[in-house]
Chains A and B, each alone.
Chain A
Amino acid sequence: MAAFSRRSLANYAVEQLLANQSPAQLSKYLAAALIASKRQDQADLLLADINQELESRGRLANATVTSATKLSAELRKSLSSQVKKAAKVDQVSLNEQIDPSVIGGIRIETANHTWDKTVARKLSEIKGGI
């Protein structure tokens, strides 16, 4: 089997998704490809590459949102809209995480961007500035 890069495999996956390929079927193909090239341990990295490629093409941003308290539906909607504009993508998928250590505010991480607006981050900046 010819060697192929993880990046090219990610591009192929994105192309297939945009061509309405079934995600379940595509997942099987990708898993087979990783096993065949003995790179099973790179599954997470491949998913990250796919996310990055989708975001770069302006199609989808998988955003991990961390906050100290649970976000309301209104805030989630507002957030989704704002991330669409900021990341310049058509769709946004939010994955919420509750972490009291951020104290307050919000942190959004996508494949290509990170916005850290938490109180913990601001305190850290103040500490570094002193």
Chain B
Amino acid sequence: MALPYPQIASDQASGIGAFNINLRAFLFQLLTFVIVLYIFKRWILPPLTKTLEARRKTVEESLANAAKTKDELEKAEARVKQMIAEGRASADDVIKGAQDEAKNLVAKAETAASAQAERVLNDAKDQISQEHNKLREELKGELASLVVLTTEKVLKTKLNAKEDAKLVEKSIEEIN
């Protein structure tokens, strides 16, 4: 393709001109780049680096803390599990103890109730027996009174003077 500036075109045809680069512009841009680079390195990069380093340290600390926290959490979970297990075992012991005590109490109460029931039963039997004997004695007494009364009435009716004289005679013979 033909350039509008034939001289320049002839200059650019060899060396750097082959790349069609404006040297002056290139130098200017290079200088600008260097300046920008210097500024970046002088004022921007250090705080940025420092910030990033701080950020990195923070992250590392956070990670360390997280790991530590994780360990502590695991330890705490283990302790909690152990405490739960111990508590469960202790609770089982307590429950078992309470159950045994309750069984003992029930057994004692049953024994006491049985003894008391037996005592009450024996007392009732004794009382019934006493009442029975008392009634029997009363009945015997009443029967005896009745028999004697009847005999007395019969004798008063049947025993005349003659028979009484015989009885008296016999009684006199028995005196000694």
Query: Would B175 and A75 count as touching, CB distance under 8 A?
Result: no
Q: Is B159 positioned at the interface, with any CB of A under 8 Å from its CB? A: yes
Cβ B156 vs Cβ A103 within 8 A: yes
Given contacts A127-B145, A130-B144, A130-B147, contact A75 B169 (CB under 8 A): yes
Assess whether A108 is interfacial by the CB under 8 Å rule: yes
Chain A: minimal CB distance from B133 (Å): 15
* CB neighbours of B172 from chain A (8 A): 75, 78-79, 82, 106, 117
* Residues of B128-157 whose CB lies within 8 A of A: 140-141, 143-145, 147-148, 151-152, 155-156
**Residues of chain B within 8 A of A105, CB atoms compared:** 164, 167-168, 171
Residues of B near A71 (CB, < 8 A) are 165, 168
Q: Taking the complex as formed, is B176 at the interface, i.e. its CB lies under 8 A from any CB of chain A?
A: yes
Q: How far is the CA of A75 from the CA of B170 in the complex (A)?
A: 10
**How near does chain A come to B169, taking the closest CB pair, in angstroms?**
6
Nearest Cβ distance between residue B166 and chain A, in whole angstroms?
A: 9
Shortest distance between the CB of B161 and any CB in chain A (Å): 5
Cα A103 to Cα B171 with chains together (Å): 13
Which residue in chain A gives the minimum CB-CB distance to B145?
A127
* B164: chain A residues within 8 A (beta carbon): 67-69, 104-105
Query: Which stretch (A7-15, A34-42, A118-126) binds chain B?
Result: A118-126
- Residues of the A chain whose Cβ atoms lie less than 8 Å from the Cβ of B159: 68, 103-104, 119
* Residue of A86, A104, A117, A118 ringed by the most chain B CB atoms within 10 A: A104
Interface size on A, residues (CB 8 A): 28
Q: A119 and B167: CB pair below 8 A? A: yes
In whole Å, how far is B52's beta carbon from the nearest beta carbon of chain A?
Answer: 131
1/0 per residue, CB under 8 A from B, across A78-91: the answer is: 11001101100000
Chain A residues closer than 8 Å to B148, beta-carbon distance: 123-124, 126-127
Which residue of B has the minimal Cβ distance to A129?
Answer: B144
Set of chain A residues within 8 Å of B171, measured between Cβ atoms: 105-106, 115, 117-118
Question: Is A72 on the interface with B (CB-CB < 8 A)?
Answer: yes
Residues of A within 8 A of B140 (CB): 130
Q: Is the CB of A104 within 8 A of B175?
A: no
- Verify A78–B169 contact, CB threshold 8 A: yes
* Beta-carbon contact of B144 and A127 below 8 Å: yes
Some 11 contacts from A to B, beta carbons below 8 A apart, are A71-B165, A72-B165, A79-B168, A82-B172, A86-B176, A104-B168, A106-B171, A118-B171, A123-B148, A126-B144, A127-B148
Binding site for A on B (CB under 8 A): 140-141, 143-145, 147-148, 151-152, 155-156, 159, 161, 163-165, 167-169, 171-176
